[in-house]
Chain A
Amino acid sequence: ETGVTQTPRHLVMGMTNKKSLKCEQHLGHNAMYWYKQSAKKPLELMFVYSLEERVENNSVPSRFSPECPNSSHLFLHLHTLQPEDSALYLCASKDSLAGGGETQYFGPGTRLLVL
């Protein structure tokens, strides 16, 4: 257990559905990340939140909408997705304060299939 949990672990949705992915960290960290992991590709950074403010939006389509209501929770709202959005979505957290270290701690991911 890394201290980062993600739900659901698996999700199948149609292109017209709306769903949300949830991430929760129990490590007291103040930075949280969403990554997309596709087969044979590097992990793609999608969004970064630091102290609940979005500090990075890596040219992600608007059909992905992040939300960070507090430092322990991160959501990814999904709507009108495309089949090419099928992937493993990983959440990570980090202590971004000075002296907090470099390590990002990852959750187990949500395996998303868009039909």
Chain B
Amino acid sequence: GENVEQHPSTLSVQEGDSAVIKCTYSDSASNYFPWYKQELGKGPQLIIDIRSNVGEKKDQRIAVTLNKTAKHFSLHITETQPEDSAVYFCAARNTGFQKLVFGTGTRLLVSP
């Protein structure tokens, strides 16, 4: 089955810096890769996603890139703000089982 690895587990940046979180997946048949943000006391919320027929997608300060050959995808946050502080999860959808397999999460701390 699918296996998703996520790095780093924690990431501290200064406000205004960029942050990059990386994930790798094992199943070459996976075709959908969402990123979720989880704030304290809340459930995960989708912030951006990408499908396997696209190499990059951008939404304001966040972007996701996908390298199908290498089976890795990354989340990029530019001009970070303290409200970006949260735990971020990547996931991959295993086409055969139609379910999401999640990474272990990255705790991002943006210091003012």
Contacts and interface: CB of A to CB of B under 8 A. Distances in A.
Interface of A: 2, 4, 40-43, 45, 48, 56, 90, 92, 102-109
Interface string B74-112: 000000000000000100010001011111110000000
B45 interface: yes
Given A43-B89, A90-B43, A108-B43, A48 B34 contact: no
Q: Which 9 residue pairs of A and B lie closest in terms of their CB atoms, listed nearest first?
A: A106-B43, A42-B102, A43-B102, A106-B44, A108-B43, A103-B46, A107-B43, A42-B104, A108-B42
A108 B42 CA distance: 4
5 contacts: A48-B99, A90-B43, A92-B43, A104-B100, A107-B43
A40 B104 contact: yes
B100 A45 contact: yes
A104 B36 CA distance: 10
Nearest to B49: A102
Given A2-B43, A108-B41, A42 B49 contact: no
Contacts of B49: 102-103
B45 A2 contact: yes
Interface of chain B: mostly helix, strand, loop or mixed: strand
Contact of A106 (B45, B104, B105): B45
A51 B55 CA distance: 34
Q: With a 10 A CB-CB cut-off, give which of A2, A42, A106 has the most chain B CB atoms.
A: A42
B4 interface: yes
Given A42-B103, A56-B99, A102-B93, A4 B34 contact: no
A84 to B, nearest CB: 18
A90 B44 contact: yes
Given A41-B104, A90-B43, A107-B43, 12 more contacts: A2-B43, A4-B43, A102-B32, A102-B93, A103-B49, A104-B100, A105-B46, A106-B44, A108-B41, A108-B42, A108-B43, A109-B43
Contacts of A41: 104
